[in-house]
């Protein structure tokens, strides 16, 4: 019996030609984080917007400022019914889940009163000192970038609210380890330790939301 020759593809009675499809590029996708609501772009690997360092002011039931929480923690408190939103994001941003929509908070208030241990003295921090001096150099009034000891540490000065001031880099460099009387300089302010519960909060926060100001009181001069 003679061998049968294969029929060429596409010939009459032969198999139909196969069509090879090339995979199409997938469009960039954006996913929403489970709690913080951070929008991530898989194409670029970035986040829009970057909310990782965003803070929310937490108030007691008496509207006393307690602390500044990470956004994720604040949303968890609201979702669990342990806090309510007092002020939302000025831009009206919202977070969406399968069952509800949550306004991105700027200020939240606890549902139950929390007793806070009394501490007479506010701890000295760079952030707190900059807030006290309003980010102004105590020597020239320019924009402050550094912290200076009025009486240098090398000459017995203490690391305290009363001996530390905000200073611009230029004045700090010029003063070095000298005393004010040796330079003929005078302080524009009288450095003192700030008082009040809101200063313990400010001591740990670099940037504050304008919506927080009514709850933080007047800053010290």
Contact 201, 128 (CB under 8 A): no
**Between 209 and 71, the higher pLDDT residue:** 71
Residue 219 CA to residue 40 CA, distance in Å, equals 38
Average pLDDT of the segment spanning 186-192 = 95
Contact 152, 178 (CB under 8 A): yes
Q: Indicate whether 28 pLDDT > 50.
A: no
Q: Indicate whether 156 pLDDT > 80.
A: yes
Residue 24 burial (CB count, 10 A): 6
Q: Indicate whether 195 pLDDT > 90.
A: no
Q: Indicate whether 199 pLDDT > 90.
A: no
**Residue 220: exposure state from Cβ atoms within 10 A (0-12, 13-18, ≥19):** buried
90-137 tens-digit pLDDT: 777 777 777 777 788 999 999 999 987 766 678 888 988 988 998 999
Alpha helices in 85-194 (DSSP H): 126-132, 169-175, 180-183
47-61, 118-132, 185-199 — most confident range: 185-199
Structure confidence at residue 37 as a pLDDT band (50, 70, 90) = very low
Going from the N-terminus, what domains does the chain have, and what CATH number goes with each?
A: 55-110 (no CATH), 126-183 (1.10.30.50)
**Residue 8: exposure state from Cβ atoms within 10 A (0-12, 13-18, ≥19):** exposed
Omega of the bond prior to 135 within 30 degrees of 0, cis?
no
The pLDDT value given to residue 150: 97
Omega of the bond prior to 49 within 30 degrees of 0, cis?
yes
Pairing, β 94-96 against β 83-88: unpaired
């Amino acid at each position: 019996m003679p061998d049968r020759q294969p029929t060429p593809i596409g010939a009459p009675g032969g198999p139909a030609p196969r069509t090879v499809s090339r995979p199409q590029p997938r469009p960039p996708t954006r996913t929403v984080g489970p709690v913080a609501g951070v929008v991530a772009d898989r194409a670029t690997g970035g986040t829009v917007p970057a909310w990782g360092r965003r803070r929310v002011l937490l108030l007691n039931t008496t509207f006393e400022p307690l602390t500044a929480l990470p956004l994720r923690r604040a949303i968890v408190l609201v979702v669990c019914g342990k806090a309510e939103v007092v002020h939302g994001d000025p831009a009206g941003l919202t977070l969406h889940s399968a069952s509800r929509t949550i306004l991105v908070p700027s200020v939240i208030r606890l549902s139950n009163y929390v007793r806070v241990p009394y501490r007479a003295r506010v701890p000295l921090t760079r952030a707190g000192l900059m807030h006290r001096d309003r980010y102004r150099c105590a020597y020239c009034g320019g924009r402050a970038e550094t912290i200076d000891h009025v009486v240098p540490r090398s000459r017995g000065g203490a690391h305290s609210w009363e001996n530390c001031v905000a200073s611009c880099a230029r004045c700090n460099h010029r003063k070095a380890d000298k005393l004010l009387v040796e330079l003929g300089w005078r302080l524009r302010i009288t450095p003192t330790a700030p008082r009040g519960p809101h200063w313990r909060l400010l001591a740990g926060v670099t940037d504050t939301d304008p919506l927080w100001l009514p709850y933080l009181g007047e800053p010290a001069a």
